[in-house]
Amino acid sequence: MKNLIITLSLLLFSYTTIAQNKNAKTIIEVDGVCGMCKARIEKAAFSVKGVKSAVWSEETKHLSLIFDERKTNIKSICQTIADAGHDTKMVEATEEAYQSIHECCKYREEEVVKEHKKKS
Amino acid sequence: MKFKHILNLIFLLGFTLHTQGQNTLKGIVLEKIDGKDEPLYGANVFWLNQNIGRVTNENGEFSIPYQSNYKKLVITYVGYQTDTLVISNTNKIKHYLRPEAELDEVTITTRRQSLSRSFLSSENKINVSSDELLKAACCNLSESFETNPSIDVNFADAISGTRQIKMLGLSSPYIMITTENIPTIRGANQTNGMSFIPGTWVESIQITKGAGSVVNGYESITGQINAELQKPSMDHPLFVNAYAGINGRLELNTHVNQKLSEKWHTGLYLHGNQRTEKFDRNDDGFLDIPLKQQINILNRWQYSNSEKGIISFINFNYVNDNTQSGQVDFNPNRDKLTTNAWGSESDTERFETSLKIGYVNPDIPYQSLGFQTDFSYHDQSSYFGLRRYDIRQTSFYSNLIYNTIISDSRHKVKTGLTFMYDDYDELVDETNFARIDNSIGGFFEYAFDNLTNLSLTAGIRADQHNRLGFFVTPRFHLRYTPWSKSALRFSFGRGKRASNIFSENHNLFASNRQINILNSNDDIYGLAPEIAWNYGISYLQGFNLFGQKGDFTLDFYRTDFENQVIVDWETPSEINFFNLNGSSFSNVFQLEMNYELLERLDLRSAYKYFDVQSDYLNGRLQKPLIPRHRLFLNMGYSTASKDNASQWKFDLTYNWLSEQRYPDTSLNPIQFQLPQETPTVGTLNAQVTRVFSDKFEIYIGGENITNVRQDNPILGAENPFGSNFDSNFVYGPIFGYMYYAGLRFKLTKIKNK
């Protein structure tokens, strides 16, 4: 009986670690310009079930993620962020979603980007 | 049975093989570094035009569901070129990503404020950086708050020579003072503890107004002050600071830091100060400032292993401090404990060792475990005229903290256990007081942040204490941002503590008042534990005016005592300690404005209003020697820093205190009667620093340069053994103007690689 439990748990363990990581960790690039963008991006990420940690850096545009691969995947997260109006490498925001974000966050506009660079 | 196992096994194996074999594509993502294969952790692998994606694990491996109609596999990772592979079968993939061309470096040019209030944290927290600490060049932790309006610093009395601090109108025992989050300045160390932390050792200070966190204990009532010390891995390999003041004070600080290996660093911090010259500027026959000698040694060991997520500090600290004060002619060898001359000596020896270990799961940074433990032995023997006071304390403290999240990192949780043990042995004149306190408790703190306009911290702890009983300590902080650049904060919380009446009111010995403890039924010197609630509201608003940044803060805090040990000075020949019967509270209002007038010219200003009252034996009165109003102004200017880091820095601080109430002296003979209130006091400090390079700088400064003085700080100085002798009526500077100069020399780090 003991042996069985050991083999079973071993098998299950190796199975889950290879296939689907409970704490998958990655970094993706998300376009944005300011603190308001940061809140919007992180909020969007957290709205996806299974996302445990999301930290976006205004400086590097990197969004560091930790999420449960059994519940979600990177593409769904990117899609949700794009739906909130922010471009990722995998999914671009639709014009409609992009227009919904605040004027000062319009990261595709060169003027806006310049303005934020000046401030910082 | 056995047969069944095998069957099961085969079945299981078959199942896993089946799921992995036919429908999954496995692979590994690597990078070539110096010709070697390095796995890429966290790379994204997904099917083009499909909602299926995976992330590589720490070995760079992935396994992704596969169907024959999936053709294009995209592998992408930040900082690397994205590759798309065409897939036609489930053969294992080995793929190398190539780094992108170097990205443009981003530099941020905003100047960091040396004193900053957080717009985001739920607590009303002020961070004091090391730059700010350099503004008042002297000399230890108690003197580090001169440029900070949230903390009120008393003028040093002529006997102890130490400056006591206050927060929200209440003295330092009501503040939890920690070094690197370990409560150290408490109990016997309350008297001089802040002067046992030299200023150069302090890397930064965090001040939290109001209830504070439950993590470090139940004792804090008005707030928390945490001093972070220099870290061997961050501090300069060599740092020397020398200081001399015209009051005869000489100080020398030396830091030596060394890297022993990739993981180990050590630092040796030596401090010595002395004052051997005698001064009596006001001709009252007493020294204006005590003679002093201190040797203070700290040895730190730092272990950091970022791969395993472990960081640890081991500290050893030894202090030997001698203070002599009293009449100018007093010679300790001849006159000690006699009526030849009035004198006082206080010798303190203290040893402390502490250990901190932190573990952060490298893969899951929001999960961490921290353990801190501290042992200290404190031995002070002293006498004041004919009075003797000795205190010995052995303490042990230990705290275990576990951090994690609930569902996602917007919901953070801290939980853990605290153990405290204090063995006190006191001799007050002929009376011995000895007691052992111990407590064990657990805490739980939940923090929520909605990432935009709301964050809160709610904590609760429960402790079992042999003298305070079983009790629960709730604390709550909330921050709400109604509009941009603002923060509205609320807090409330409870604190409970045992008052060490003698060490906290140490200066009473320098009087001939009779000491009376009016209660005898309770456990701490016959007195009951102190319990208070603190409530706060605060509003912070940032603004831009004429292109320059500024902010203002409105704070109101109320501390309400359920029980307090009242220290009653209102009967001239007595000092009475008793349990509060009635009410005792403090209301403090603060308006603070900070504005950058011009580039590199900062103005900081504050107004404070104090209403601190207690029910004394003769009725409800304002607490003595606390002003109703305080004004504070600080201006700092620095020239632009040149390439070799050379620059000038100027700093000016003005402090004004309104009238303060004297304790009642109406029963004294007429020549020993004081007016009801003190005069107002305004003092001006200035400092100029010349930075020659990142290695060398000198500074000169003046304290109280307008030479404001309290003329007769000691009542009955002519007859120190008479019943009216009292040195506790200090409301202003005794010494007058004081100039000083100093230098700092540091060897900057040799950059690796």
Three-state DSSP class for B647? strand
Contact A75 B41 (CB under 8 A): no
Round to whole Å and give the CA distance between B391 and B427: 6
Among B5-14, B227-236, B715-724, the minimum mean pLDDT is found in B5-14
Say if A112 falls within a structural domain: yes
Alpha-carbon distance B37 to nearest alpha carbon in chain A (angstroms): 20
Query: Region B256-262: what's the mean pLDDT?
Result: 94
The single-letter code of the amino acid at B439 is S
Check CB contact under 8 Å for B408 and A59.
no
Residue of chain B nearest A76, judged by CA positions: B51
Contacts of B143 (CB under 8 A, 6+ apart): B136, B153, B163, B199
Residues of B in contact with A74 (CB under 8 A): 44, 46, 53-55
Q: What is the mean pLDDT of residues B427-443?
A: 95
A17: closest CA of chain B, how far (Å)? 9
Chain A nearest-CA residue for B5: A4
Query: Whose CA is closest to A32, among A19, A24, A42?
Result: A42
Question: What's the average model confidence in pLDDT over A36-58?
Answer: 91
pLDDT value, residue A6: 56
What is the ipTM for the molecules in this complex?
0.75
Instruction: Determine whether the interchain pair B51/A75 forms a contact, defined as Cβ–Cβ distance below 8 Å.
Output: yes
How confident is the model over B319-328, as a mean pLDDT? 95
- A7 CB near a chain B CB, below 8 Å? yes
Report how far residue B347's alpha carbon sits from residue B329's, in angstroms, rounded to the nearest whole number: 20
CB contact under 8 Å between A53 and B12, yes or no, is no
Q: Which of the residue ranges B3-12, B42-51, B337-346, B355-364 has the most confident prediction, judged by mean pLDDT?
A: B337-346
Tell me whether residue B352 is in a domain. yes
SS3 content of chain B, % helix, strand, coil (to 5): 10, 55, 35
Residue A24 lies in a domain: yes
User: To which residue do tokens 């580039």 refer?
Assistant: B599
Best B105, B451, B453 member to test A by mutation, with max A CBs in 10 Å, is: B451
Q: Are residues B232 and B90 in the same domain?
A: no
A69: nearest CA partner in chain B? B54
Q: Residue B159 domain-assigned?
A: no
Tokens of B631: 């004004």
Contact assignment for A19 to B20 by CB distance below 8 Å: yes
**What gap in Å lies between CA B753 and CA B737, rounded to an integer?**
50
Cα B416 to chain centroid, rounded: 21
Residues B92 and B236 in one domain: no
Residue A74 and residue B77: Cβ atoms within 8 Å?
no
B42/A26 CB distance under 8 A: yes
- What's B562's domain CATH number? 2.40.170.20
Residues in chain B: 753
Of A20, A39, A79, which has the smallest distance from its Cβ to B451's Cβ?
Answer: A39
CB B552 within 8 A of CB B592: yes
Verify whether the Cβ–Cβ distance A18 to B405 is below 8 Å: no
Residues of A in contact with B1 (CB under 8 A): 1
**B481 and B332 assigned to the same domain:** yes
**Can you tell me the distance from the alpha carbon of B493 to that of B476, in angstroms, rounded to the nearest whole number?**
6
**Residue A87 touches partner B, C-beta closer than 8 Å:** no
Work out the minimum CA distance from A16 to partner chain B, whole angstroms.
10
A57 close contact with B: CB closer than 8 A: no
Report if residue B651 sits inside a domain. yes
Q: Examine residue B118 and state whether it is found in any structural domain, yes or no.
A: no
Average pLDDT of chain B, as a whole number? 89
- Residue A3 inside a domain? The answer is no
Task: Read off the pLDDT of each residue in B376-398 and give the average, rounded to a whole number.
Answer: 96
Q: Does A29 map to a domain?
A: yes
Contact list, A66 vs chain B (CB under 8 Å): 364-366, 409
Does residue B11 form part of some domain? yes
pLDDT of res. B416: 96
Pick from B96, B129, B148: which residue ends a domain? B96
Instruction: State what percent of residues in chain B have pLDDT above 90.
Output: 66
Is residue A11 assigned to a domain? no
pLDDT score, position A1: 56
Q: What residues make up the domain containing A71?
A: 20-119
Put simply, the answer to whether A46 touches B410 (Cβ < 8 Å) is yes
Using CA atoms, how far residue B266 sits from B258, B261, B295, B315, in Å, is 5, 10, 20, 10
Q: What is the pLDDT of residues B453-473, one digit of tens each?
A: 899 999 999 999 999 999 999
CB-based contacts of B739, cutoff 8 Å, min separation 6: B245, B246, B700, B701, B702, B703, B705
Q: Which residue reads 């960790």 in tokens?
A: A25
Residue A12 lies in a domain: no
Residue B3: predicted pLDDT: 54
Looking up residue A71, the CATH number of its domain turns out to be 3.30.70.100
Picking from B44, B57, B363, the nearest residue to A28 by CB comes out as: B44
Q: Is A16 on the interface with B (CB under 8 A)?
A: no
d(CA B611, CA B587): 5
Between B377 and B133, where is the model more confident?
B377
* pLDDT at residue B185, rounded to an integer: 93
Contact check, Cβ <8 Å, A11/B16: yes
Strand order of the sheet with strand B165-167?
B151-153, B165-167, B170-171
Mean pLDDT of B197-206: 93
How many CA atoms lie less than 13 Å away from B677 in the CB half-sphere?
12
Please compute the mean of the pLDDT values over residues A57-78 and round it to a whole number: 89
In order of A28, B79, B616, B696, the CA distances from A60 in angstroms are: 10, 10, 61, 35
Give the HSE-up count for residue B150: Cα atoms under 13 Å, Cβ half-sphere.
27
DSSP string, A14-78: HHHHHH--TTEEEEEEB---SHHHHHHHHHHHHTSTTEEEEEE-TTT-EEEEEE-TTT--HHHHH
Between β-strands B408-428 and B387-406, what pairing exists: parallel, antiparallel or unpaired? antiparallel
Question: What pLDDT does residue B45 have?
Answer: 87
- What are the angstrom distances between the C-alpha of B626 and each of B153, B166, B175, B387? 11, 10, 17, 27
CATH number at residue B30: 2.60.40.1120
> Would you call A15 and B16 a contact, using CB atoms and an 8 Å cutoff?
yes
Total domains in chain B come to 2
The per-residue pLDDT for range B136-161, each reduced to its tens digit, is 766 888 888 888 899 998 887 878 88
Handedness of CA B253, B188, B180, B301 (dihedral sign): positive
B19: which 2 tokens?
């799921």
pLDDT at B105: 44
Residue B564: helix, strand or coil by DSSP? coil
**Per-residue pLDDT reduced to its tens digit, B262-292:** 999 999 999 999 999 999 998 999 999 999 9
Kindly report, residue by residue over B730-745, the tens digit of the pLDDT.
Answer: 999 998 899 999 999 9
Going by pLDDT thresholds of 50, 70 and 90, the confidence category of residue A13 is: very low
Contact B5 A4 (CB under 8 A): yes
Q: State yes or no: pLDDT of B179 exceeds 60.
A: yes
Q: What is the mean pLDDT of the segment spanning B621-640?
A: 94
Least confident of B71-80, B179-188, B526-535: B71-80
Is B239 domain-assigned? Answer: yes
Cβ separation A53–B366 shorter than 8 A: yes
B175 is a domain residue = no
Q: List phi, psi (to 5°) of B133.
A: -65, -25
Question: At which of B81, B96, B111 does a domain end?
Answer: B96
Nearest Cα neighbor of B581 from B561, B598, B595 is B561
pLDDT confidence band for A16 (50 / 70 / 90): very low
Confidence of residue B128 (pLDDT cuts 50, 70, 90): confident
On whether the CB atoms of residues B297 and B265 are closer than 8 A, the answer is no
Show residues of chain A in contact with B547, CB under 8 Å: none
B140 domain residue, yes or no: no
Which of B12, B24, B46 comes nearest A75 by C-beta? B46
Q: Inform me whether the pLDDT recorded for A30 exceeds 60.
A: yes
- Domain finish residue from B60, B76, B96: B96
A10, part of any domain? no
* Chain B residues with beta carbon closer than 8 angstroms to that of A90: 44, 46, 53, 74, 76
pLDDT score recorded for residue B6 = 55
What H or E segment, with its residue span, contains residue B502?
Answer: helix B501-504
pLDDT in tens, B53-106: 888 888 888 888 888 888 888 888 887 888 888 888 888 888 888 887 644 444
pTM (two decimals)? 0.86
A42 versus B361: the higher-pLDDT residue is A42
Residue A45 lies inside a defined structural domain of this protein: yes
Amino acid B271: pLDDT: 97
Nearest CA in chain B to A73: B53
Domain range for B361 is 228-277+310-369+396-747
In the predicted model, is pLDDT for residue B485 greater than 70? Answer: yes
What total number of domains does chain A contain? 1
Instruction: Take residue B219 and report the two structure tokens written for it.
Output: 């004792």
